[in-house]
Amino acid sequence: MILTFDCYGTLLNMAGVDACLADLARRQGVDPIRAVATYSAYEDRLMYVEQVTPYTALIQANLAYVDMEMRTGDGFRSAYLQVLQSYQALDPFPDVNPALQQLHAAGHHLVLMSNSTQTLMAAHLKRLAPVIDAVITADDTGCYKPQPDFFAYVAQHLPAGEHVHVAHGFWWDIMPATRLGWHRIWINREQLTAPGAVQPLTALPDLSDLPAALEKNRR
């Protein structure tokens, strides 16, 4: 089976980036919760540009907008390298590498599809189990999820066979995958309730039970 995975929030724990932004906010004397939320909001907005921006440049733009909103001069923007390093140092959730190794041993073809950039993914792959068969990023697709063109590009570049998409991101992954008729599994780490429009939907709290869930569906 071919398994495609979202990366941030699904495989990698984003807490390190949030902690970095919160620490920068405290140094600037501004609300860390608001700063993290502002960064996330502008990241979402900037992903709707007509022409894709490399993710590293997107980080810089996000930080500039945080400075604007928080009235911090260039306090966040000048810490770009520190924020970039927090991305490079992201660790997988504890459930991730054991599950990836088990899936690989079972013969599944594992593909990452991320809004990130190949340069950042090179750092991430060093922390993930060495069982990933392919990586597709916005560098390849020329657009960001949830745009349909991203998913169309992925579909065209997957090997033939049964395919399941595994993701934490609801708006960015589960919704477009539903519209395209992809089989999908929602890694619902926050234990949210999905709207009826995407049902039926298999949801798991993390990746621990993913190998067993896939094996059960095969029977």
Q: What percent of the chain has pLDDT over 70?
A: 98
CA quadruple 28, 88, 166, 143: dihedral, nearest 10: 80
Query: Residues 169-189: what's their mean pLDDT?
Result: 93
pLDDT at position 218: 64
pLDDT at position 54: 84
Q: Looking at domain 2-13+90-218, what is its CATH homologous superfamily?
A: HAD superfamily/HAD-like (3.40.50.1000)
| 123-132, 172-181, 195-204: range with lowest mean pLDDT | 195-204
pLDDT at position 217: 66
Query: Residues 59-69: what's their mean pLDDT?
Result: 95
pLDDT at position 17: 97
Residue range 108-159, pLDDT digits in tens: 999 999 999 999 999 999 999 999 999 999 999 999 999 999 999 999 999 8
What residues contact 108, with CB distance under 8 A and at least 6 apart?
1, 2, 3, 214
Q: How far apart are the first and last CA of the chain?
A: 13
Whether the CB-CB separation of 87 and 121 falls below 8 Å is answered with no
Domain ranges of the chain: 2-13+90-218, 15-88
Say whether pLDDT at 40 is over 80: yes
